[in-house]
């Protein structure tokens, strides 16, 4: 690339490196590490030295949002995902946060309950997974014995729902004890909170089903419980209005999620993190993400398929305050510096995304000093 084009590219990228306010934090850049399930925490869900190294390597992100983390044994839906419900898990995560903070980073814990996407083999006592309604999703669960068809879940009784809220609250307490800067509530991608939000998976006729306001009630109760622990400025929420992953759908995503954003706005949360479009690549209903951002009236993190050029365009055009990157951050631990210099990127190795050891996890190369000076 000619020198004048390099300088122009670097100048354009400056918008990615303006400090930005995100709730109680001031971030040094707008490049967020998206939550990425990696299945490397073992059967006990305790983060170990490999996890510490992985997150420490990526501490130059404006903010790290960790992989989705189980709020309870019932919440688990995949092998070897981490938890935040035992003392050993809290201590394992504390080693992660200490390493990230020592490297100058900031880190939120993403907390989830997978609901009907789990499988009896992953549940305590091989119980049925729980869901808003007893509707079996299409597809297969990932288990220790390989892929197995999803089962028909058990619909949660109304009097069980406070227990789900309490588990999210306890996860926030434990996240604070582990040293996290905040938490992200995972209400996206077809997991339990998303299952309640969508009319395709929520057929309840009690206070948690029917209208958008009722379907949103569980998420609002969870958000209220978590913010009571941490303060609203240390809590974000992730949504995916158009994503059909995990056989999730809604008859009116535009109307449903605009109402939801308006319901969330008074809480004063740190941010709204939105998976834009469909992760599966399907073409489905359109949604005006600009209106969603306006209805929320707080910091907006855009996600799904962004690259350096699109991120610059989104932030320069005030379409988002921050942009989250998944596979690019997975493969490039120094992604902000590569973006700053418009340097070449490592290619993600898809076959090592889930499970395994350090290969495709902690062994992606950083830019060498010589390459940095020549960029």
> Residue 313 sits in a domain of what CATH number?
3.20.20.70
Q: Which residues are catalytic?
A: 191
The predicted-structure confidence for 66-96, as pLDDT tens digits, reads as follows: 999 999 999 999 999 999 999 999 999 999 9
Q: What percentage of the chain exceeds 90 in pLDDT?
A: 91
3 burial level (CB within 10 Å; 0-12, 13-18, 19+):
exposed
The larger pLDDT score, comparing residue 375 to residue 15, is at 15
The pLDDT > 70 percentage for the chain reads 94
pLDDT-derived band at 284 (thresholds 50, 70, 90) equals low
Question: Contact 285/315 with Cβ under 8 angstroms?
Answer: no
Question: What's the confidence (pLDDT) of residue 280?
Answer: 74
Q: Would you say residue 107 has pLDDT above 80?
A: yes
Torsion angles phi and psi, residue 271, rounded to 5: -170, 165
Residue 10 predicted with pLDDT over 80: no
Query: Is the alpha carbon torsion for 173, 37, 298, 312 positive or negative?
Result: positive
Q: What is the predicted pLDDT for the residue at 278?
A: 82
110 vs 108: CA distance, rounded Å: 6
Domain count for the chain: 1
Token pair of 63, please? 């903010």
- State how far the alpha carbon of 214 is from the alpha carbons of 3, 113, 218, 275, in Å: 57, 19, 8, 23
Q: What is the mean pLDDT of residues 192-206?
A: 98
pLDDT at position 4: 45
> Is the pLDDT reported for residue 307 higher than 60?
yes
pTM: 0.95
Sign of the C-alpha dihedral computed for residues 298, 304, 308 and 312 taken in this order: negative
| Overall residue count recorded for the chain in this entry | 375
Give the residue-averaged pLDDT of 227-253.
95
Query: What is the band of 277 on the pLDDT scale with cuts at 50, 70, 90?
Result: confident
* pLDDT at residue 285, rounded to an integer: 64
CB 246 within 8 A of CB 117: yes
Whole domain around residue 26: which residue ranges?
3-374
Indicate if the pLDDT at residue 221 is higher than 60. Answer: yes
Q: 16-59: per-residue pLDDT in tens?
A: 999 999 999 999 999 999 999 999 999 999 999 999 999 999 99
């Amino acid at each position: 690339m000619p020198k004048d084009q390099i300088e122009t590219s670097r100048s354009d990228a400056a918008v990615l490196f303006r400090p930005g306010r995100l709730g109680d934090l001031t971030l040094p850049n707008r490049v967020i590490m998206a939550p990425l399930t990696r299945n490397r925490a073992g059967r006990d869900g305790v983060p170990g030295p490999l996890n510490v190294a992985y997150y420490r390597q990526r501490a130059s992100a404006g903010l790290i949002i960790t992989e989705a983390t189980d709020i309870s044994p019932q919440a688990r839906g995949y092998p070897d995902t981490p938890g935040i419900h035992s003392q050993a898990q809290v201590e394992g995560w504390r080693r992660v946060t200490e390493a990230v903070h020592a490297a100058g980073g900031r880190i939120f814990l993403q907390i989830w309950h997978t609901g009907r996407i789990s499988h009896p083999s992953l549940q305590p006592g091989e119980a049925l997974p729980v869901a808003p309604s007893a509707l079996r999703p299409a597809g297969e669960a990932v288990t220790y014995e390989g892929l197995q068809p999803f089962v028909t879940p058990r619909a949660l009784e109304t009097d069980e729902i406070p227990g789900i809220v309490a588990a999210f609250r306890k996860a926030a307490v434990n996240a604070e004890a582990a040293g996290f800067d905040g938490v992200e509530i995972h209400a996206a991608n077809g997991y339990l909170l998303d299952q309640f939000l969508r009319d395709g998976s929520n057929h309840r006729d009690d206070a948690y089903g029917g209208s958008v306001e009722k379907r949103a009630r569980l998420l609002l109760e969870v958000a209220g419980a978590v913010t009571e622990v941490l303060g609203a400025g240390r809590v974000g929420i992730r949504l995916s209005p158009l994503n059909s992953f995990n056989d999730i759908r809604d008859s009116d995503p535009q109307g449903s999620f605009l109402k939801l954003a308006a319901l969330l706005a008074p809480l004063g949360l740190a941010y709204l993190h939105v998976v834009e479009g469909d992760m599966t690549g399907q073409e489905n209903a359109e949604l005006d993400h600009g209106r969603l951002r306006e209805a929320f009236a707080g910091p907006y993190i855009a996600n799904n398929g962004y690259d350096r050029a699109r991120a610059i365009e989104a932030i320069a055009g005030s379409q988002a305050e921050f942009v989250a990157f998944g596979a690019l951050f997975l493969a490039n631990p120094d992604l902000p510096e590569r973006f700053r210099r418009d340097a070449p990127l490592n290619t993600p190795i898809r076959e090592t995304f889930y499970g395994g050891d350090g290969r495709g996890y902690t062994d992606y190369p950083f830019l060498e000093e010589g390459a940095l000076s020549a960029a």
